[in-house]
Structure 1
Amino acid sequence: MQAYEANFDGLVGPTHNYAGLSVGNVASLNNAKNASSPKQAAKQGLQKMKALHDLGMLQGVLAPQERPDLAALRRLGFSGTDTQVITQAAKQAPQVYRAVCSASSMWTANAATVSPSADTADGKVHFTPANLTNKFHRSLEPETTGRILRAMFNDSRHFAHHQHLPDNDHFGDEGAANHTRLCSDYAKAGVELFVYGRHAFDSSKPAPQRYPARQTLEACQAVARLHGLSDTGTVYLQQNPAVIDQGVFHNDVIAVGNRNVLFYHQQAFLDTQQKLTEIRQKFGETSPLHFIEVKDQQVSVADAVNTYLFNTQLINLPSGEMVIIAPTECQEHAGVYRYLTELCEQDTPIRQVKYFDVKQSMRNGGGPACLRLRVVLTEQERQAVNPAVLMSDALFGRLNTWVDKHYRDQLNEADLADPQLMIESRTALDELTQILQLGSVYSFQR
């Protein structure tokens, strides 16, 4: 049986801006209040999607959220017409208003955790939207994310959808940004790695001091139960609190895995050797397992964060060759570029690096890996996916035309309070749901 690892990239929304909302995300804070270009950001994302499609990868599109989120503002006591709600909120609670305008759903690595049918007890692909409780602006996403995922993967014979975990920090869940999967073959059962930052119910355990640990062990365990994963196919790793305090807000900023390769920094985890032994035991002897550890003297944690060396996509091309999809920031940093060049010459499955310009996303704290949600699909499951969300030459052209029609070239913080931006955004999203055949997934449509 053949299986593919598809990438579903988040389409950047019309309100893409630099509000610096994400404490613990160095790039987000460093670029706060700079002018953004929603049009350029969306086109950079589409260009990456099309490039992976052209490489023969199964590539899909995940729609953005409705922003500004007026339903959230009404729950917070702002009333009147839509224009009055926007005007009141922007004036009386500007920080809250900036949060409900966030386009952070573009980072679909945080959209959900996905387990392929080869790993689950009922033989279905399971989806659990992340509750993203640690950041108010992201905690607004899971309901709509769930509706969008159901519209994309809408065949109950193949796909199982769960409600997001309870909206509480004890079950703080950041989705696939803290989850990866190792396997000998996509079609075969693998080992799912859940990475957490703290224990919610045991304060005596190690935890970061400067920045928040967004993912809890208890959330990881709950998702594994919902997905029907076996103990023999699951490993829980704790992220090193010291690297969280250095700006490594998700595991995908310090480690990435694919097939039989785990590519990680020396400081990524606690009890590293013990955990690698557990992974090796559960992975079995079906194929060689490659642990590629980047030492401090090769690339520092600071350089890894600034270039997003590990927030890269590690993919297998149809030829079987394993390739790193990296941001151009890795190419522009002499030390990181040298490391990646030398890596491709070593005896590992990684043979080449392809660099992409995703600067609009990078400046807000998200690299190539943040922009995509990985979904392993058998051929039958692929046939059951909503075909309108799968990248093609025609869809690429249509979405670029759609961006040109609806998106602004530049957006400043003050522009967010313009009621016309809401009208533009809703008009754009209404048309997008028709292009992607999603139905009425947004609150304003329901």
Structure 2
Amino acid sequence: MSTAYEVNFDGLIGPSHNYGGMSHGNLASSKNEGDVSNPREAALQGLEKMRLLHRAGLKQGILPPLPRPNFDLLASAGFGGSDAAMIEAAAQQAPALLKAAYSASAMWAANAATVSPSADAADGRLHLTSANLSTMLHRSIEHPDTTAALLSIFEREDMFAVHGALPPHADFSDEGAANHVRLCAEHGAPGVELFVYGREPGESTVGFPARQSLLASQSIARAHALSHDRTVFARQSTAAIDAGAFHNDVVCVGALETLFFHELAFEDTDGMLEQLRRAADGLFELKPVMVPEAEVPIGDAITSYLFNSQLLQMPGEDRLVLLAPLETQETDSTRNFCERMVAGNGPIGRVQYVDVRQSMRNGGGPACLRLRVVMTEVELASCHQDVLVSDEKIDALQAIVSETYRDRVVSADLADPAFADECRTAREQLLEELGLSSLA
């Protein structure tokens, strides 16, 4: 078994970060629609989270922001002429479309792709499938640029298999790793992959949309050459979706042998756990940690983002660490539960709180901001090295952000062609620092 690491590739928050309120079913996004955002603060908060984990001894990478505004979207809608002309016309005739073109939602890298490590794949390669994010217009435009970025970072085809997005049809609706959990004894060992879906092909839903389809999850498992015996498909509960858990990672997170989840997360909790135990037989002993509805109402779990936290194996610590947003600490039920949990002898021994408020107000916690990629030492040495974090790299990126990002953005700013120029200039400088200028 090769030595392997869980590398967190965080999305670098882009200069067009704004509160557009475009994500139906995401309560925080809807609540803060139209508020003043601070892209500079948002990006600096994200970079400080990366620095925190890097200094703790974890491996950390960066995914660049995507080009915004997305002029391809505007052109597809019939707008033409110069960039400035397209922006001005869209602002007058289709302001909602212009908001979608400017969306910085790719910052939530947990939705960028689904990842299976080489230890799980029959062909011995690390597999990544870009998510089509077809449920929401503003996210459906991400995958071509996401795929290009992943191909630039994971270039070697003998080690890495980067798959394009699934067809953009409702039956193939795919939201990436936000609906996927890998469990294992240790990162370099074969594991069990849990795919969570909200609906089956052809099935319609009432209320908030069930974004992940069973067909999408099954298709990705096939493309990643996963063992049927080590793959589990479980349905997310309608109660969780209707309460605002638009992705499974709003009510569930896992790491190593531990699955940490809310009582209402799954349609059939007992059946899901039994499937996991059978799949894990001979590999590891599953350690489920279920949070009862009576102790943490699902509404509190969702608004505090207790589960949209990073569950981490910190060097030198015997038990896992939950990296949670400050909102979890500020909510009585979740704070009290965390205190009781770490006082016990379960697999989670510490909770650490982190400030990502700018992201949280748009509906994304610490877990949303990262894509977990399990990599062997050889794979880590073979990927694009300029996206791997060091203190110096973070310092350089923070300097660019401080110089080029605005500290205040409102919806009216999107109509200003000068803002588009600022976003392009900022991204080009960031790409140069990351050695990815070819993506400009």
2:370 aligned to 369, 372, 375, which one? 372
The match for 1:332 is 330
2:308 aligned to 307, 311, 314, which one? 311
The match for 2:176 is 175
The match for 1:148 is 149
The match for 1:276 is 273
Conservation of the 8 A alpha-carbon contact between 2:105 and 2:139 = yes
1:155 is displaced (CA, Å) by 1.7
Q: In the aligned structure 1, how far is the partner of 2:404 from the partner of 2:414?
A: 15
1:387 is displaced (CA, Å) by 1.1
Report the AA paired with residue 375 of structure 1. V
The answer to whether residue 134 in structure 2 is matched with residue 133 in structure 1 is yes
The within-5 A match list for 1:70-149 is: 70-149=71-150
1:347 is displaced (CA, Å) by 2.0
Paired positions, count: 438
The answer to whether residue 194 in structure 2 is matched with residue 215 in structure 1 is no
Report the AA paired with residue 291 of structure 1. P
Tell me the TM-score normalised to structure 2 length. Answer: 0.98
1:235 is displaced (CA, Å) by 0.2
Report the AA paired with residue 337 of structure 1. R
1:430 is displaced (CA, Å) by 1.4
Q: In the aligned structure 2, how far is the partner of 1:356 from the partner of 1:102?
A: 24
The match for 1:413 is 411
**CA RMSD between the two structures:** 1.0
Describe the superposition over 1:46-74 as per-residue Cα deviations: whole angstroms up to 9, x where unpaired: 00000000100001111011111111101
Q: In the aligned structure 2, how far is the partner of 1:355 from the partner of 1:200?
A: 39
The within-5 A match list for 1:390-409 is: 390-409=388-407
Conservation of the 8 A alpha-carbon contact between 1:208 and 1:242 = no
1:208 is displaced (CA, Å) by 4.3
1:270 is displaced (CA, Å) by 1.1
2:251 aligned to 248, 251, 254, which one? 254
The match for 2:7 is 6
The match for 2:428 is 430
Q: In the aligned structure 2, how far is the partner of 1:56 from the partner of 1:157?
A: 28
The within-5 A match list for 1:181-192 is: 181-192=182-193
Report the AA paired with residue 60 of structure 2. Q
Describe the superposition over 1:77-111 as per-residue Cα deviations: whole angstroms up to 9, x where unpaired: 00111100000001100111111111000000000
Q: In the aligned structure 2, how far is the partner of 1:317 from the partner of 1:296?
A: 29
Q: In the aligned structure 2, how far is the partner of 1:123 from the partner of 1:345?
A: 40
Q: In the aligned structure 2, how far is the partner of 1:92 from the partner of 1:347?
A: 59
1:355 aligned to 340, 353, 356, which one? 353
1:320 is displaced (CA, Å) by 4.8
Report the AA paired with residue 316 of structure 1. Q
Q: In the aligned structure 1, how far is the partner of 2:285 from the partner of 2:165?
A: 35
Conservation of the 8 A alpha-carbon contact between 1:208 and 1:241 = no
Conservation of the 8 A alpha-carbon contact between 1:23 and 1:29 = yes
Give 3-state SS (helix, strand or coil) of 2:438's partner: coil
Tell me the TM-score normalised to structure 1 length. Answer: 0.97
Conservation of the 8 A alpha-carbon contact between 1:72 and 1:100 = yes
Conservation of the 8 A alpha-carbon contact between 2:6 and 2:374 = yes
Conservation of the 8 A alpha-carbon contact between 2:35 and 2:410 = yes
Give 3-state SS (helix, strand or coil) of 2:7's partner: strand
Report the AA paired with residue 409 of structure 1. D
Q: In the aligned structure 2, how far is the partner of 1:200 from the partner of 1:439?
A: 40
Describe the superposition over 1:179-220 as per-residue Cα deviations: whole angstroms up to 9, x where unpaired: 01000111111000000000013x3xxx64210011100000
Describe the superposition over 1:145-204 as per-residue Cα deviations: whole angstroms up to 9, x where unpaired: 001111111122211111110011110000000001000111111000000000013x3x
1:235 aligned to 214, 232, 236, which one? 232
The match for 1:53 is 54
In structure 1, the gaps of 5 or more residues are none
Give 3-state SS (helix, strand or coil) of 1:145's partner: helix
Give 3-state SS (helix, strand or coil) of 2:18's partner: coil
Describe the superposition over 1:2-46 as per-residue Cα deviations: whole angstroms up to 9, x where unpaired: 110010100000000001000000000000000000000000000
Give 3-state SS (helix, strand or coil) of 2:343's partner: coil
Report the AA paired with residue 431 of structure 1. Q
Q: In the aligned structure 1, how far is the partner of 2:101 from the partner of 2:201?
A: 27
Runs (4+) off by over 4 Å: none
For residues 12 and 417 of structure 1, do their structure 2 counterparts lie closer, same or farther at Cα, with a shift above 3 Å needed? same
Q: In the aligned structure 1, how far is the partner of 2:272 from the partner of 2:427?
A: 44
Q: In the aligned structure 2, how far is the partner of 1:285 from the partner of 1:291?
A: 17
